[in-house]
Amino acid sequence: MGKNKLKKFADMERFGCVLQYPREELLRLGFQHAGKWNGDVFASPAPLTLELGCGRGEYTVGLAKSERGRNFVGIDIKGARMWTGAKEVEENGIPNAAFLRCEIENIDRFFAPAEVDSLWITFPDPQMKKSRKRLTSTRFLALYRRILRPGGIVNLKTDSPFLFEYTRRLVELNGFETLRCTDDLYGAGEADPVSSIKTYYEQQWLARGKKIKLISFRLPQEGELLEPCEDDIERDDYRAMPRPNF
């Protein structure tokens, strides 16, 4: 392991905005701040928004700067990536942003029922061969239900035509209320200060001429979750960009 990565890991241990819990400790002791993020982690109570798979944390930081009346938590398992956003929060004293290093499959252990107001899922792997790994699949929506308030909002921002169409069909099939849906966020002129926050990877996709898609919907607490047919959805014709741990 390189010295740079070791330094980042050491920084993450001392950053006050970063919470890291080994899986073994989580299963044995639980998470002491569940249900108490407002108060324990954030000094000012406010609606809580999570960014899932936050990578370098640019979107979490951008959201926190744009919406001072909300609290934001970036979640990822890769600490070396997350260091970039965490360092900015530490150095600039951004009071409404924090980071949680954990597997998304375990987020219901870190947040109490109805504690979370909304979710952002930004440029995830579309997982075209494994629907259970898609962050907008019914498997994950069932997980989000455990922590979202009734009618909580899920936002997906993606470069993937496949994932966008799959999610659009899922939303339609299940009768979810659609708040926004565009397959060309910038070309259609629908970007606002929040949705136009650009991460490192988004800038790369735009440089390659890829259109950015956005769909936002309300996730109800009740009702069976149905998977849409995806057999006729065209697969993406390009490869995802590598995401090194830098």
Where in the sequence numbering do the catalytic residues fall? 125
3-state secondary structure 82-139: HHHHHHHHHHHCCCCEEEEECCHHHHHHCCCCCCEEEEEEECCCCCCCCHHHCCCCHH
Could you give phi then psi for residue 47, rounded to 5 degrees?
-55, 140
Dihedral, CA of residue 191, residue 197, residue 200 and residue 205, to nearest 10: -10
CA 63 to chain centre: 12
Q: In what order do the strands lie in the sheet with 71-76?
A: 18-20, 97-101, 71-76, 48-52, 116-122, 148-158, 213-219, 178-182
Q: What gap in Å lies between CA 96 and CA 98, rounded to an integer?
A: 7
For residue 235, CA distances in Å to 80, 125, 126, 184 come to 31, 13, 10, 18
